[in-house]
Amino acid sequence: MIVQKEDMTMSTFEERGESLEAKAAYDQEVQFKNIARRNYRLGLWAAELLGKEGAEAEEYAHLVIKSDFEEPGEEDVVRKVTADLESTDTSESDVRSKMESLLAEVTEENQG
């Protein structure tokens, strides 16, 4: 009888561990999608500042998404967009601020 109780306890711990791992994987996937959406919207915002419209703006937004795969973190996106907006009055700080507000926006939309 004691062996069964230990087995049951171990099984409960294993199930809980698997559940936590699944939740962590899900949360990571949601965060990845939110960042991709943020980058897309950032690309559309930057495209507008650059005078791009329609398909050209869409293409640019997709390039911003792709730029995020160059290295871990968001510095590659900041670098690309800031460099592309060099001819405008948009600073790196402006880009970072826009990235922050867009991430909050897409995260809120995803939760609601």
Tens of pLDDT, residue by residue over 52-83, are 999 999 999 999 999 999 889 999 999 999 99
C-alpha 11 chain-centroid distance = 35
For residue 112, the 8-state DSSP code is -
Could you state, in order of their start, the residue ranges of all structural domains in the chain? 2-111
Q: CB count, 10 Å around CB of 93? A: 9
Tell me the average pLDDT of the chain: 89
Helix spans in 1-112 (H): 2-49, 54-67, 75-84, 92-111
- Region 30-49 average pLDDT: 96
What local confidence, expressed as pLDDT, does residue 1 receive?
42
Instruction: Write out the H or E segment, with its range, that includes residue 77.
Output: helix 75-84
Find out whether 81 and 102 touch, Cβ atoms under 8 Å. Answer: no
User: pLDDT tens, 93-112?
Assistant: 999 999 999 999 999 998 86
